[in-house]
Amino acid sequence: MQKPLWQIEENSVKNKFFTRTCSCYAIFVPAAQIRRLWKGMVINMPDIRKITDFNAPELDIYARKNEAQLLHLYEPDGGIFIAESPKVIERALDAGCVPISVLSEQKHIEGQARDIILRCGDIPVYTAELDVLTQITGFTLTRGLLCAMHRPKLPTVEEVCQGAKRIAVLENVVNPTNIGAIFRSAAALNMDAVLLTAACSNPLYRRAIRVSMGTVFQIPWTYLDSFEEISSLHELGFKTAAMALSDCSISIEDERLKKEKKLAVVLGTEGDGLAEQTIADCDYTVRIPMFHGVDSLNVAAASAVAFWELGNRVDKKTI
């Protein structure tokens, strides 16, 4: 039977348990169990802290800092982000993101948050009942778990595009929900990377991460320094396809697009779409055929269609 993260026993020392005390808890996990769970890797024990003061400065990142403040926190070291739900946090850890602290609903400490907490080591794990956490964060936690993490250093455009054959380029997509949905489609439909202009919403905003289901940690991405870099993709061997309504556009089903060895699919902002200069700089202007008088799709929906049709396709028989 699996031992709980904290369990007070008189013979804990005799049984060679690791111990740590924090607030009102004493934490005991057998060394043998940890080694079985983590394949021989020795890890530090979690530091469980029951929330007693809503105004504690340690909780500011969860309760009183907005996305822009988190983005610039600890500059010039890159800021932090908040990952939500065990699956998303697991993908962030898999990508090498470094955790700072965890905020967890009390019941999940021994449940679905258990492995995540152990994996995070000895960082603070703040815990309370769900209604208390909702008061702190202002929203109901997805599966009762948040994790604050350091933002990783972004790669260069050249590093992201190295070895890539199909990439997405996002111009001024400002809605974090759309950003998250585009990343999820990019991962699901086998795109190699995503590039964003500076005006795009940040992929590591909490809503974008949540909507993406953590795929922002699986698909390589970075920012373009300027609009000129979209056209500079030609230097990296890419042909560019602007998704736009135009009299000179070609159908997304055009065979020439699928025959391109390296293709960048360029998608524009909600409402206005791509800038005219961007369209002019692209090798192709591409439209999605539509019916019933509908003239356009939401950028997230359009991205899914484009990635399926123009992405790294596999034999449909294997799907």
Q: With 0-12 CB in 10 A as exposed, 13-18 as middle and 19+ as buried, what is 27?
A: buried
DSSP 8-state class, residue 235: G
| Residue numbers in the chain where pLDDT is lower than 50 | 3-40, 42, 316-319
**pLDDT tens for residues 264-305?**
999 999 888 999 999 999 999 999 999 998 888 999 999 999
Which residues have a Cβ under 8 Å from the Cβ of 254 and sit 6 or more positions away?
A: 284, 286
pLDDT of residue 30: 45
pLDDT of residue 7: 42
From its phi and psi, is residue 56 left (phi > 0), alpha (psi between -120 and 50) or beta?
beta
Count the helices and strands in the chain (H runs, E runs).
13, 14
Distances (CA, A) of 247 to 53, 241, 305: 62, 15, 20
pLDDT of residue 14: 30
Domains in the chain: ranges and CATH: 17-150 (3.30.1330.30), 157-318 (3.40.1280.10)
Specify the pairing of strand 263-267 against strand 145-150.
unpaired
Considering the entire predicted model, what is its pTM? 0.81
pLDDT of residue 227: 66
pLDDT of residue 27: 40
pLDDT of residue 19: 31
pLDDT of residue 226: 72
Return d(Cα 27, Cα 25) in angstroms, integer: 6
**pLDDT tens for residues 28-67?**
444 444 444 444 454 556 788 888 777 788 888 888 888 8
